[in-house]
Structure formats: structure tokens, C-alpha cells
Structure 1
């Protein structure tokens, strides 16, 4: 009993002294954190793991040094060793989170050109998950090795490890495939966090990328969850692979009597009067003329996918309004031309302007620096690059 009472007093004294010292250090670090974001994050994230680890270690050393022999001394010390291992693993995981936050704080995502930051964030998140999983596995292994009986069984466990690994690999084939696919996505830049993608016919943003699944935030705030192996085995569209600027179209069906140049002028006025347009592409072309109607395609550009969607809707609205107010005869119609045998022949239509006289607003792969550059990208390797003007 005297030894047990001594042990309790030692535990109480060690616990009180340790808590007082740790809380004082935490107070000093929090005060310094007013000037340093790293110190503030360290005081906020690592406080409780550090307190638990240091307290358990102080109790263990106090019992070993001053408690003497008492009933159950061996199991108590063994339990303290296990708790210290768990607390130390918790502290290491907390420090990993602090380092991740410190690394990510150097890069911003609320800027137009954030490709490097999104790539770095994706890689850091994946590495953090792998590191935390490795810490948990190693901690369990170290805890198990503190039991003498398990150490004695080590030889037999190693002998059967080959068979067990084969069975486990077959049972977890799909899960392991997703894990390796997640690592591949993190370091291949095929897709990153905050990338705008089109998958399964849905347009959305990569909200979360883990080792096993990818969460896509669809434009209407739904979430589409896909296994990571989907992005390594099936095709998908990545609208922000190398940049956020994209092109989009707005199509109209009009009558053959439509005058095209006034519509081009109206399209140019709409684009130049809108902040959604990034100043790169503003083109109106006739892409089809069958079935009694003429199809017009307005091709415009914007800095990102969200602005492009709104700009396409604006262009479509303004062109429809312009046709209704100024070229009402150009509305789609179905006509039949019935002529008598003695009627005068139709007069030939005037010849269209020469290609050199067509404005740049009627070209996509020629005319202007942007059009010439786009046309050269799609020229074959043996095709001489010449000016199309």
C-alpha cells in the first residue's frame, strides 16, 4: 500500500507539473502566433497531441524513477508505453498537417492563373493521406511488437506472409487499383483539384480528390462521386488542363434571306460591351445551310467556364432580339416556289465578296493573330505554314 500511494502521488505530481509547463509553452506560442501564421497554426493543431505525449512520457519516467515496486507495476508501465506510442503518432500526424498548411499558404487559388497551386495542392493532399495511413500502420505495428508473445510469432507470420499477401491482393484488387490510380492522378496532372471537367455528360469542378474516389461538384451544386480509376480508364474533358480560358458557341437557325454582316456587327458590339468577354475570339460563321434554313454559329471566348456560359446566353439573347427587331423577314420559315411556264427566270444573286475581303469576325482559323495561331496548331507536320490573309 505505501508503494501504491507513492505511485499515485508521483503520477499526480508529474501530471500537474507537465500540464503547467505545456500550457505555459502553448500560451507563449499563441502570443507569438499573432505575428506568425505558422506559429498560430502550430499552437492550434499540435497543442493537444503534444500535451498528451509529454504527459504520458512524464508519468512513465516518474513511475520508473520514484514509484518503487507496487502491484501491477509491469502492466501499468506497458500501458503507458502503448499510450506514448499512440500519442507520439498523433503528434507526428498533427505536425504533418501544420507543414501542409504552411506549404499551401504560399500559393493562392483565388487568382486567374492558379494551375501551379492547384497541382501542388492535389499532390500535397494525396501525400498527406498516404503519410497519415503509413503512420497509423507503423503505429499499430510498433504497438503489437511491445507484446512478447507476438514477437515470438514473428517467424511464423513472416513465413505465411507470401500467401496472405496474395489473398489480400485478390480480395482488395479494386481498392488497390483505385489507390494507385489516385497516386497516378496526383503526379500526372491529368486532373487537379478545382479543375473544370465534363464527365458522364455533366459539367462541374473537381471538389475533392482522394486515393479512392473523386468528388465532382456539378454546376447545380449536386455532387458526382467517381472512383479514381475512372479518370485513368475512361475519356473525359478537362477544360482547365493548361489554362482556364475557353471557347464556346451560340447557334441560331435563320432564313436564307438573312443578311450576315449586320449580325456580325451586332455580335461584335455585344462582346465589346460585356465584361464577360476576354477579347480573344468573337466570330460569326455560317456552319450549315440545309433543310430550308441557315445555321449561324457565334464563337466567343471567356476567361473561364462560368463566364463563358453567361456570355453564350447573352450572345444568344441579343442576336435573337436583333433578328426580331431588325430582320424579321429572316425568321425561319418554310416556303414553296410555284412558277408558271411563262414566268420570267430568276435573276442570279450577286457574287459574294472575295475571301480576302471577309472580315476577321467571319474566321476561326485565319485572320488576326489569334486565328493564325489557332490555324497553325491544326496544320499537319508536312503542311507549310503560310499566312491566310
Structure 2
């Protein structure tokens, strides 16, 4: 009798709790439980797959890592969608959750597409072999193209994903249609604000295809010399020689002239100007230049010469030509040659240094 009494009391307590708790609380608990179960199951399955994928190389490991988030999100959405029809929720609340699930599904699919773009781009870049030489134009060309196209694809997918997510709701869709269809001041302001973004995005695609610049190209922009450090979706970061950073819009490299010292090859010609006296032994200067550059590891062994280019202000202008494998090495080589030649002239031919002559004639 006591056992039956306890069972009856338990049944009565359960019936009271069932009727006392609102339906929306019960439905919310069911949806939350389904989401937690699906997330736990996904973490366990993806963890096992990741450990197994690590045995098959970096590509499989990257694929498992990229798929973890979207797969777990899809499983949680599937579990919540399966429980939603049987959950005791008010009609308006269930309708709102349904629209939220549809919009979330679109966002997850867009997330999956962006992860796929990143995965393929990373795999492609990982197969590019950079040589130990700075003149690795093909490798830098491919990396630049992939990075710009990846940024453009991610931006396009993000815009499309948000637009499709908003289109899942009739109220937001109607608002969006009325906003974009209006020809008022708001539409004009939005169009003017979006013009620089779109022009830079299109410029990025054009740069990826035509390759006027690449990563680590040596360029001169607005009188500043540096290297292309980063090409973003709307701007380019130039690392100037003194470690400053110049930020330039992408459209600048399509609309404005600039110098690219490594467009076709990285090797360059440099000059050192010497202003000396008329009695300078030019042949000896040529021999000494050959000797100086031959003993300098910065010289690439291609060009070394001396030319008499002008006779300004009672002096002789000598142009010393030399070549190096890239702009940075060339700058150092020019400094070394300038120092060595001046030191040599001062020691061996001091009368050949530039001087002023004054002639006094008795009247």
C-alpha cells in the first residue's frame, strides 16, 4: 500500500509539473536538448575523423579542420528542425524559429562555400615552390593571383549569402525590394558610397589577371621606393625601405602610372656619378671599377662600365654602370662602389679630384 501511494504521489507530482510549466518552456528545452546532443555527437565524430585524416597527410587534415564547423552547424540545424514540429510551441514562436532556421541554413551554406574557397587556395599555394632567389617571378605571380581571387570570391560569397538570408523572410524581402527600387536620395547615397568599393574590387580582379604588381615586387609610388607587402580586397600595403607602410587603393595601380622594378625580372642596372678633373685617367678608372665589382659578392657579373657623359662646370662627369640581382642589393653595391672609387682616386690620383681653378693675370 505504501509503494502504491508513493507511485500515485509521483504521478500526481509529474502531472502537476507538466501542467504547471508553460508549453514554450518545454518546447525550448526540447530544442536546446536536441541541439546539445547533435553538437556533442558532431564533436565526437569530427574528432575521430580528424585523427584518422591526420594519417593521410596535410590535405586531409586541412579538409577535416575546415569541415568541422559547417558540419556541426548543419547537424544542429537538422536536429532542431526534426524536433520543431513535435515541440509544444505557440504557432507564432514556431513560425519565427522556422524562419530563423532557414536563414541560418543559408548562412551555414555560405560559410561552407567560403571554407571551400580557402581550402582550395591554401592547397594550391602550398604546392608552389619558392626558390632561394629573389627573382622567383612565377611563384609570386601565382600567389598574388590566388590571394586576390580568394579575397574577391569571399567578398562576393559574403554579399550573396547575406542577401539570400534576408530573402528568406517576406517582410525583410519586401523592405529590401522597396529600398533598392527607390530612386530617392537614400538610393543615391548608397550608390555613391558603394562606388569606391566596387571600383577597387573590380581593380583587384583586373590586377589578378593582368599582373601589373605582385607580392614582394619592388615599386616606386609617389616618389617612395618599397616592396608590395600585402594586396587586400580594396588596398595595397607597400613596405617602404625605412620600414614605413604606405596604403594605396587598388584602383591607383590601374589608373595612375608607377614604377615596377621587378615586373619582368628582378635584376637592375645602377649608376654612380663621379665629378672629377680633366686629367682623370678614364682607362684606369675602368680597370679599377672592374676590380672593385669583381671582388664584391653583390655584383651579378653582367654589367660594369664607365662612360664620360658630360663636362659640367669645368669638370668631367663619369657615369659608372653596374648591375645586381635586385634593387636592395643594387643599392648596397652602389654605395660600396662609390666609397671604393673615391678612396682610390684620393690615394692614387689626388690631382684628378674635382677642383676650382683661379688664374691671376698681372695688368
TM-score range, shorter chain: 0.7 to 0.9
- CA deviation string 1:182-202 (max 9, x = no partner): 222221111122111011111
Instruction: Give secondary structure in 2 for the equivalent of 1:33.
Output: helix
Tell me the secondary structure at the aligned position of residue 103 of structure 1.
Answer: helix
- TM-score of the pair, normalised by structure 2: 0.82
Q: Give the aligned partner of residue 145 of structure 1.
A: 167
The alpha-carbon distance between structure 1 residues 334 and 139, as it changes in their structure 2 partners (threshold 3 A), is same
Of the candidates 123, 129, 137, which is equivalent to residue 108 of structure 1?
129
1:251 corresponds to 2:270: no
Kept in 1: contact 2:46–2:68 (CA 8 A): no
Correspondence list, 1:162-177, <5 A: 168-177=190-199
**Aligned residue runs from structure 1 range 43-62, under 5 A:** 43-62=64-83
Q: Which runs of 5+ in 2 are unaligned?
A: 1-17
TM superposition shift of 1:101: 0.8
CA distance in 2, matches of 1:269, 1:73: 87
Indicate the residue corresponding to 2:343 in structure 1: 321
Checking the alignment, whether the CA contact within 8 Å between 1:19 and 1:55 is kept in structure 2 is: no
Let me know the Cα RMSD of the aligned residues: 2.9
Query: Are 1:213 and 2:232 matched, yes or no?
Result: no
Q: Do structure 1's residue 38 and structure 2's residue 59 form an aligned pair?
A: yes
Q: Which residue of 2 aligns with 1:134?
A: 156
Matched, 1:70 2:59: no
Using the alignment, how far apart are the partners of 1:7 and 1:290 within structure 2?
A: 91
1:309 aligned residue = 331
Partner residue of 1:262 out of 267, 284, 287: 284
Distance in 2 separating the partners of 1:337 and 1:76: 101
Number of residues of Structure 1 aligned to a counterpart in Structure 2: 339
Structure 1-normalised TM-score? 0.77
Compared CA separation, residues 35 and 338, structure 1 to 2 (3 A): farther
Structure number with higher helix proportion = 2
Matched, 1:195 2:195: no
Counterpart in 2 of 1:88?
Answer: 109
Query: What secondary structure, in the 3-state scheme, does the structure 2 residue paired with 1:256 have?
Result: coil
Matched, 1:118 2:140: yes
CA distance in structure 2 between the partners assigned to 1:88 and 1:218 by the alignment: 41
Distance 1:274 1:218, change over 3 A: same
Following the alignment from structure 1 to structure 2, what is the Cα–Cα distance between the partners of residues 70 and 60?
13
Deviation per CA, 1:192-238, whole angstroms, max 9, x where unpaired? 22111011111101112233222111011100111222222222110
Q: Which moved more, 1:72-81 or 1:218-227?
A: 72-81
Residue by residue over 1:346-373, the C-alpha shift from the partner in whole angstroms, topping out at 9 and shown as x without a partner, is xxxxxxxxxxxxxxxxxxxxxxxxxxxx
Task: State which drifts further: 79-88 or 301-310.
Answer: 79-88
- Mapped partners of 1:293, 1:279: distance in 2: 30
1:288–1:295 contact (8 Å) kept in structure 2: yes
1:174 & 1:80 partners in 2: Cα distance? 35
Q: State the partner residue of 2:9.
A: none
The answer (yes or no) to whether the contact 1:208–1:216 under 8 Å persists in 2 is yes
**1:324 and 1:46, CA in 2 relative to 1: closer, same or farther beyond 3 A?**
farther
Using the alignment, how far apart are the partners of 1:230 and 1:8 within structure 2? Answer: 56
Cα gap change, 1:330/1:155 in structure 2, threshold over 3 Å: closer, same or farther? Answer: closer
Q: Which deviates further from its counterpart, 207-216 or 51-60? A: 51-60
Residue range with higher mean Cα deviation, 89-98 or 154-163: 154-163
Point out where structure 1 has 5 or more consecutive residues left out of the alignment. 342-389
Question: In the alignment, which residue of structure 2 is the partner of 1:347?
Answer: none
Shift of 1:17: 4.4
Equivalent-residue separation in structure 2 for 1:253 and 1:136 (angstroms): 61
Alignment of 1:228-377 (within 5 A): 228-337=250-359
Give me the whole-angstrom Cα distance separating, in 2, the residues matched to 1:135 and 1:193: 24
Deviation track 1:291-343 (CA, whole Å, cap 9, x = no partner) reads 121121111111111111111111111111111111111121112356799xx
Q: CA deviation at 1:133?
A: 1.7
Query: Contact 1:14 / 1:62 at 8 angstroms: preserved in 2?
Result: no
